[in-house]
Amino acid sequence: MSSMDITLEVWRQDGPNTPGRFETIEAKGISEHASFLEMLDVVNDRLLAEGKRPISFDHDCREGICGMCGVMINGEAHGPVRGTTTCQLHMREFSMRGVKHIVIEPWRAAAFPVVQDLVVDRSAFDRVIEAGGYISVKTGQAPDAHAMLVKKNDADRAFQAATCIGCGACVASCPNGSAALFVGAKITHLGLLPQGQPERDARVQSMVAQMDAEGFGACTSHQECEATCPKGIPISVIARMNADFRRALA
């Protein structure tokens, strides 16, 4: 089994109201086949054995679905591989690139305050969803296939937008800390389906208002969000959100 020695520069912050700092940690004998989070597990086991506090980081499914694992890796959200979450990133990607020094930071955004080390509070996303990211109309049981006709193009675009996992990479990579890609994906997903039409105008107004209230920045089309989204959601969802918002105000 191939192994590698790497130097980590990890952001360490004891709590939300304490100053943070980078800590250098030597990670030796790391398997190239380990995922990035498995590498952190190994480092944490060693820190515990030395009587030190382990590195705090978010994780859950480790299958690229839940969106919990996001961190900045050498300045890139989720690391150097496009379309990949942090938990699905493997150490061989660094070995192949000749990278032996890795800087790990939490998401950097005013709306995502640091809780501890690499863990940030992303409950602002939850409140945006609570503001209108759902369908409250009673639709009954699941209809038979093709009972409600949806254009193929609309169905495909709705499905693509629905793949958003709410990881926050779009916010962390945006120089303005904008959540427009996340909110645009939710609005697009629901707005393209027949069930989403009754509340379409109210939904976009309430979700955009909550997004602004949470302190997210404005979108100025840098397109960093699209480049770092692990699910490849396009910025066209932002254009649709803006169009729906103008329509709702008309």
Average confidence (pLDDT) over 44-63: 97
28: three-class secondary structure by DSSP: strand
Tell me: pLDDT of 187 over 80: yes
Write the CA distances from 166 to 69, 85, 119, 160, 231, integer angstroms. 11, 12, 15, 14, 10
Average confidence (pLDDT) over 193-209: 95
Q: What pLDDT does residue 1 have?
A: 59
Distance from CA of residue 73 to its chain's centroid?
14
**Strand pairing class (3-12; 72-73):** unpaired
Contact assessment for residue 241 and residue 233, using Cβ atoms and an 8 Å cutoff: no
DSSP 194-226: GGGSTTHHHHHHHHHHHHHHTT-B------HHH
Tell me: pLDDT of 146 over 80: no
Tell me: pLDDT of 73 over 90: yes
Tell me: pLDDT of 239 over 70: yes
Mean pLDDT score of the chain: 95
Q: Which domains does the chain carry?
A: 3-105 (3.10.20.30), 122-249 (1.10.1060.10)
pLDDT in tens, 22-32: 999 999 999 99
Q: What pLDDT does residue 142 have?
A: 74
Which pTM value belongs to this model? 0.94
148: three-class secondary structure by DSSP: coil
Tell me: pLDDT of 35 over 70: yes
pLDDT in tens, 82-134: 999 999 999 999 999 999 999 999 999 999 999 999 999 999 999 999 999 99
